[in-house]
Structure 1
Amino acid sequence: MTTTDETTITPFLIAIPQAELEDLAARLRSTRFPAPLPGDDWDTGVPSAYLHGLVTAWAEDFDWCAFEARLNTIPQFTTIIDGQQIHFAHVRSAVPEATPVLLTHGWPGSFLDFLHLIGPLTDPESHGGDRADAMHLVIPSLPGFGFSTPLSSAGWNTARIAATWVELMDRLGYHRFAVQGGDLGATISPEVARVAPEHVIGVQVNGALSFPDDMGEDARAAMSPLDQDRLARIGKFIKEEYGYIAIQSTRPGLVGVALSDSPAAQLAWMLDKFHAWTLPFETLPDQILGRDWILANASLYWFTSSGGSSAYVGYAQSSWGATPTNSGVPTAAIQFAHDVGIRSQSSQTNTIVRWKDIEDRGGHFAALEEPSLLIDDLREFLRELKK
């Protein structure tokens, strides 16, 4: 691919000014909490006591500077592609012949989603694995997310992001690579293969590759009990949880004002989904994802004022509902207990060569909740491709 943009790749270090840290702490301490609604539970929002506790922990206990220092041990860079600043981590394995893999996050996550994967994937021998499974990792921040801000233009649909990822990999010298992702990453990763099938050796996603169209009763009845349950949960999601998508896809600027002015609002907006999309459902999200990770991720959104721009990119896709073409690239999917991917509904638009259902564990955030299972599946898939 060619581009007329500046192709310089610039080393990047995170350095949040002390004044911004103090401003965040002051805003958190002066949060104006509403009176609890009747019931005060997850059905109406984030329970008051739980939100109070995390806001206090964010202001008093969480050490951003220590987390920032940890992040700055990971090689990070920026470059301009299609007029947009793109931030990315690039961690090369010490194994020269390692397989290049591009990891794409989703919403309300960030490149921080993959912190637990970096060591095992780039240096498997030090983590009880095989040298032959080593990978070079490229972990970009989606346009409008994190340090890939501010947005320079409109129109960041999956195809444009996918083309940007191909350009990024080309600039790094990776002309044959695999892609992996969940949430938005599970939509963008197959699109990278459609944009440049000659460059992508394989696609692996956690979660759904597509969502079923209207189905007749006969087709539903022919499904396995597992797929019938997944189809029912898709319907329940559209009925009970679709509100945030409606807001973010139609008025991202409005929600962006609230999320950029109130760190407590930013945290609550994300906590709602961290609770709804993690398992076990009765376990609080910070006990699953880690309190430091949740607060670091919220801090990243806050410091980059990306609540609105991430909403704009994440759920303002012009291609929602469109039927994609099949790239022909070998594709693998792993479905954890929370996931709703249905193989029969994804096979026409993807060349599925590997499909794994894990029915008893795992939520939406596989890289954080079940990193070992996700790593094992990715390794096995790449081994199969090498054969």
Structure 2
Amino acid sequence: MSSSLMNMNRRNFMATAAIAGAVTMINPALSFATGASSDEIKPFKVNVPDSAITELKQRLAMARWPQKENVADDSQGLQLEQFRSLVDYWQNGYDWRKIEAKLNSLPMFITEIDGLDIHFIHVKSKHENAMPLIMTHGWPGSILEMMKVIDPLTDPTAHGGKAEDAFHLVVPSIPGFGFSGKPTTTGWGSDHIGRAWGTLMNRLGYEKFVSQGGDCGSVISQRMAHQNVPGLLGIHLSMPAVVPKDIAHSLAAGDPPPASLTSEEVATYKQLADFYRENSAYAAMMVSRPQTIGYSLVDSPVGMAAWMYDKFVTWTYSNKQPEKVLTRDEMLDDISLYWFTETGTSAAQIYWEDKTNNFNALDKIPSVPVAVSIFPGEIFQAPKSWVDRAYGNLIYFNKVANGGHFASWEQPVLFTEEVRAAFRSLR
């Protein structure tokens, strides 16, 4: 791809920016605001230019592939045959316009908080006394993780629930992800984002609200509770950060499980030890060198897709066959969103900002109500004994029958039931 064609495509991105009274933003790095803050909330639509889609397919056609792995399993990483099938479909069968139309059918907005454009979906329930809920995605996910649960959470009577289960739902894109702005300064870690979410909910007129998250969203929700963000009534987590400090130290040292652990805690300890030994290199890279890995993530669609699809393989509850729980289109929707917004690098920076993993407990949350759902395919199965140590006001705990790391995406019905149950006592 020539530099002149790439520059032309970037100009085309900006040429599509204005449509009938709405903000259309494809490349936030070129358009997020700086200077004085504004409380204005602007409608938002997506419109990826045809030239960007053409360029993607050209890059995919020109991909250079590594040799096939020389083992019969995935111990060396993502297996060539499995991954190449996905990329071939991305090039020859996938249609971005379908998810673009779905997104544009939702009420989406942009507002500026602390000098950065924040993109979010905001769906108000028709039911009286609906509870305001802000729900945060993770990495390598996006707002697309939540698409299947928006209707059931906001319109429960149409999806097996009761009117009193209804939520007003806010689904923001984390700074550096998707259609939110890319930070150009440091300081946009989970603490700052948690405070920004409080500002967002207040700006939308919600004086009291609850927060839900998994992966990065779990960390952000917990930081909101640690900081007692004004208006926060409680949080629900699908991946709680509860590993006690002494256990975290033993894991970091590579020690065997301490003799004091229960059988359930030993099983979790072994899960975490296996993860750190075999599957955590991605996190170490993003914590320490996000810019270095980021050059590949914004320049090579195949490289970026491999970085993300590897996690769909290992983190879904699918016996390493993610197509059993997510369609190829769903996974490629998410991968394409990262590609078209050029957010591979900026999304990795939250790991560098937080300088920690997403599993270790911080100081105990003493009073904010906490609800926890444990899905069987999550990276580790948090034992209730650790959950009790981490949260002083645990109002709900349940082990779910199905679902993995991307719970709302993989098992939207079960996830919806968990969110309803988690916050029922706070209404």
Class of the TM-score when normalised by the shorter of the 2 chains: over 0.9
Query: Would the alpha carbon gap of residues 211 and 45 (structure 1) be closer, same or farther in structure 2, given more than 3 Å must change?
Result: same
| Residue 381 (structure 1) aligned with residue 422 (structure 2) | yes
Pick from 242, 250, 259 the counterpart of residue 297 of structure 2.
259
Indicate the SS of the match to 1:146: coil
Pick from 139, 142, 159 the counterpart of residue 110 of structure 1.
142
Q: Which residue in the other structure is 1:87 paired with? A: 119
How far has the Cα of 1:224 moved from its partner?
Answer: 4.2
**Partner AA of 2:66 in structure 1:** P
Structure 1, gaps ≥5 residues long: none
Query: Would the alpha carbon gap of residues 318 and 53 (structure 1) be closer, same or farther in structure 2, given more than 3 Å must change?
Result: closer
How far has the Cα of 1:318 moved from its partner?
Answer: 3.9
Pick from 300, 323, 329 the counterpart of residue 362 of structure 2.
323
Q: Which residue in the other structure is 2:342 paired with? A: 305
* Alpha-carbon contact 1:94-1:123 (below 8 Å) kept: yes
Query: Would the alpha carbon gap of residues 159 and 207 (structure 1) be closer, same or farther in structure 2, given more than 3 Å must change?
Result: same
Q: Which residue in the other structure is 2:15 paired with? A: none
**Partner AA of 2:417 in structure 1:** D
Q: Which residue in the other structure is 1:296 paired with? A: 333
Q: Which residue in the other structure is 1:335 paired with? A: 374
* Alpha-carbon contact 1:245-1:315 (below 8 Å) kept: no
* Alpha-carbon contact 1:248-1:316 (below 8 Å) kept: no
Deviations 1:240-286 (A, max 9, x none): 1121111111111111110111111111101111111111324x112
In structure 1, distance between residues paired with 2:72 and 2:170: 42
Aligned-residue identity in percent: 36
In structure 2, distance between residues paired with 1:355 and 1:218: 28
| Residue 127 (structure 1) aligned with residue 159 (structure 2) | yes
Q: Which residue in the other structure is 2:312 paired with? A: 274
Q: Which residue in the other structure is 1:175 paired with? A: 207
Q: Which residue in the other structure is 1:36 paired with? A: 68
Query: Would the alpha carbon gap of residues 198 and 147 (structure 1) be closer, same or farther in structure 2, given more than 3 Å must change?
Result: closer
In structure 2, distance between residues paired with 1:380 and 1:299: 34
**Partner AA of 1:287 in structure 2:** K
Query: Which region of structure 1 is more displaced relative to structure 2, 32-41 or 371-380?
Result: 32-41
Q: Which residue in the other structure is 1:77 paired with? A: 109
Query: Would the alpha carbon gap of residues 228 and 319 (structure 1) be closer, same or farther in structure 2, given more than 3 Å must change?
Result: closer
How far has the Cα of 1:40 moved from its partner?
Answer: 5.8
Pick from 220, 228, 234 the counterpart of residue 266 of structure 2.
228
* Alpha-carbon contact 1:330-1:353 (below 8 Å) kept: yes
In structure 2, distance between residues paired with 1:223 and 1:289: 36
Deviations 1:274-330 (A, max 9, x none): 111111324x11222221110000000001111111111135414656833525111
* Alpha-carbon contact 1:104-1:181 (below 8 Å) kept: yes
**Partner AA of 2:345 in structure 1:** G
Query: Which region of structure 1 is more displaced relative to structure 2, 50-59 or 193-202?
Result: 193-202
**Partner AA of 2:375 in structure 1:** F
Q: Which residue in the other structure is 1:367 paired with? A: 408
In structure 2, distance between residues paired with 1:226 and 1:337: 14
* Alpha-carbon contact 1:176-1:200 (below 8 Å) kept: yes
How far has the Cα of 1:174 moved from its partner?
Answer: 0.7
**Partner AA of 1:265 in structure 2:** G
Q: Which residue in the other structure is 1:192 paired with? A: 224
**Partner AA of 2:39 in structure 1:** T
Q: Which residue in the other structure is 2:50 paired with? A: 18
| Residue 355 (structure 1) aligned with residue 402 (structure 2) | no
**Partner AA of 1:289 in structure 2:** L
* Alpha-carbon contact 2:190-2:350 (below 8 Å) kept: no
* Alpha-carbon contact 1:84-1:152 (below 8 Å) kept: no
Indicate the SS of the match to 1:12: strand
**Partner AA of 2:233 in structure 1:** I
**Partner AA of 1:97 in structure 2:** N
| Residue 64 (structure 1) aligned with residue 96 (structure 2) | yes
TM-score for both structures, normalised by structure 2? 0.85
How far has the Cα of 1:219 moved from its partner?
Answer: 9.1
Deviations 1:148-191 (A, max 9, x none): 13223212221101001000101101110011000111111121
In structure 2, distance between residues paired with 1:111 and 1:271: 17
Structure 2, gaps ≥5 residues long: 1-34
In structure 2, distance between residues paired with 1:280 and 1:377: 20
**Partner AA of 1:45 in structure 2:** G
